[in-house]
Amino acid sequence: PNDPSKLRPIGVPTAIRRILGNHIARSYRQRFALHLLPHNFAVGVSNGQDFVIKTTQLAIDKYITGPQSEGRLPSRAVVFTDMTNMFNLISREELRDCLRSHFPELIQVADLFYQESGNVHFQHGSGDWFNLLMEEGVNQGCPLSSIFAALVFHRVLAPLQAALNDRANDRVLRGDLGDDGCGSVSIITAFVDDNSNVIPLEDISFFFTELDELAPPRGCRLNSFKTRILTSTNGMSPLPAL
């Protein structure tokens, strides 16, 4: 309330758009969930956000707090990432390609919504109305916007997890079973564009390099200001001892 720069507009689409979007979201709930799991729990998953939180808490206890309480170094860190203004920046071309591959019957709907630049109306504090053309991304307030954004972001998360899995498999082949008996397999969980990633310390640099390769071409840009790396829960940094 004391910082006007933090005020956010509320996007309100037309009633026809909301009816159509809600119908698709409800009808495709299970199919969307099956496509996005096990990485994104925001669509079609009851208490999905709670699952992400609980998973992260358990991982922190197992890989950070537990070892530190026994005088050992933590084996992992938790990387919390956020994508800058992702709804407004995702690639519509990537969205269309994703729908073509997995939900081809929805391409006409996406084209109806996004084939042309959207005309967004907004009002200044003076009371004057203005408008701007939205050439990329998905419209805030549209019932399908979070789903469409998650579908595009899935094309970042799935190959990222696969690349991290390959590194874990390579460690097993070298005889290093890691902290889980499987070479320290990374855990990536997301709720639309908010991520909690439990990463072995030796994979953190790789994680960000790979993310930088996969995300920007799809309109997903890391918000470094909101990104956090949790390395310790006892107030002592493990970095000097690594």
Q: Determine the average pLDDT of the residues in 237-241.
A: 87
Task: Indicate the burial class of 230 (C-beta count within 10 angstroms; 0-12, 13-18, 19 or more).
Answer: middle
Cβ pair 167, 206 in contact under 8 A:
yes
Could you tell me the pLDDT band of residue 117, with boundaries at 50, 70 and 90?
A: confident
What contacts 55, CB < 8 A, 6 or more positions away?
187, 189, 196
The pLDDT value recorded for residue 179 is 93
How many angstroms separate the CA atoms of 211 and 161, rounded?
A: 10
199-203: Cβ within 8 A, 24+ apart: 199/76, 199/77, 199/78, 199/79, 199/164, 200/75, 200/76, 200/168, 201/74, 201/75, 201/76, 201/77, 201/242, 203/164, 203/167
* DSSP, res 1: -
Q: pLDDT of 159-214, one tens digit each?
A: 999 999 999 999 999 999 999 999 999 999 999 989 999 999 999 999 999 999 99
* DSSP, res 65: I
The pLDDT value recorded for residue 79 is 96
How many angstroms separate the CA atoms of 117 and 134, rounded?
A: 5
